[in-house]
Amino acid sequence: MIQSFIQNIYGHSSQLDILAQDSKGRYFNVEVQRSDEGAPARRTRFYSSILDTHFLQPGKLYEELPDTYVIFITENDVLRDNLPLYNIRRRIDENAKCFEDGSHIIYVNSQRRDDTALGKLMQDLYCTEPKNLHYHEFAERMEFLKYSKEGEEKMTDVIEEYAARKAEAAAKADEEKITDVIEEYAAKKAEAVAKEAAREAVKEKNIEFAKGLLADGMSIEFTVRHSKLSEAEVRELASKLTA
């Protein structure tokens, strides 16, 4: 599936470039990143976690959680060790053994376009002519999409679908942002109301206390000093008691 949107009702949702499943039930999320800023380590961590929460259905055992692969194909060598491929796995620090939890993160450095199988694949990603491609599967597909009328129509449909998905994702993101703003406003409003109610309750207790002092014959000055009310407020209470 291309441009798969995974909704997260508890937090940030994700628009995945490619999501596929093989015959063994493993899921592969492939992201093509031209910008270094689009491929931080914590983004791959988040994508891995959102696949887990999405594909473990209610009532299923943890052992049924499928293996997942998050693969970032980057235009530059974002991890900067000049490796063509970075396989990232969890491990146990004390014995350096892999912690086999079924999650895999892979960075592919597309700058390495050598004569290896992976290097040729990276060359094909940047090639625009079918005749110059190394892999015939790519060549046949590009020939079809680029030079046949049916392929041109299909590409138009794909582009329109991609634009629609992008618009839908943007709308959902805006909706989530608006929801967050409303919830934040409501929380602040509730907090303000609660504080105001607390102030009113304290004020009411002070008034009742001042009334008691005045009823017992205490002076205006004494009542002001012990009730935390202003002199004007105490005098108003005193006038009402004597009215």
Which residue's structure tokens are 């009542």?
Answer: 223
Task: HSE, CB side, 13 Å, CA atoms: give it for residue 144.
Answer: 10
Q: According to the model, what pLDDT value does residue 2 have?
A: 58
pLDDT(162) > 70:
no
Give the pLDDT band of residue 177 (cuts 50, 70, 90): confident
pLDDT(5) > 90:
no
Q: According to the model, what pLDDT value does residue 132 have?
A: 92
Burial of 121 (0-12, 13-18, 19+ CB in 10 A): middle
> Using CA atoms, how far apart are residues 185 and 126, in angstroms rounded to an integer?
48
Mean pLDDT computed over 118-133? 92
> Using CA atoms, how far apart are residues 106 and 89, in angstroms rounded to an integer?
9
pLDDT one-digit tens code per residue, 42-91: 999 999 999 998 888 888 899 999 999 999 999 999 999 999 999 999 99
Which residue's structure tokens are 């992976």?
Answer: 118
Q: According to the model, what pLDDT value does residue 243 have?
A: 62
Give pTM, 2 decimals.
Answer: 0.61
DSSP SS3 for 219: coil
Highest-confidence range of 146-150, 162-166, 229-233, by mean pLDDT?
229-233
CA-atom Rg of the chain in angstroms: 33
Cα 181 to Cα 8, 175, 185: the distances in Å are 17, 10, 6
pLDDT(1) > 70:
no
pLDDT one-digit tens code per residue, 182-214: 888 888 888 888 888 888 888 888 888 888 888
Q: According to the model, what pLDDT value does residue 112 have?
A: 93
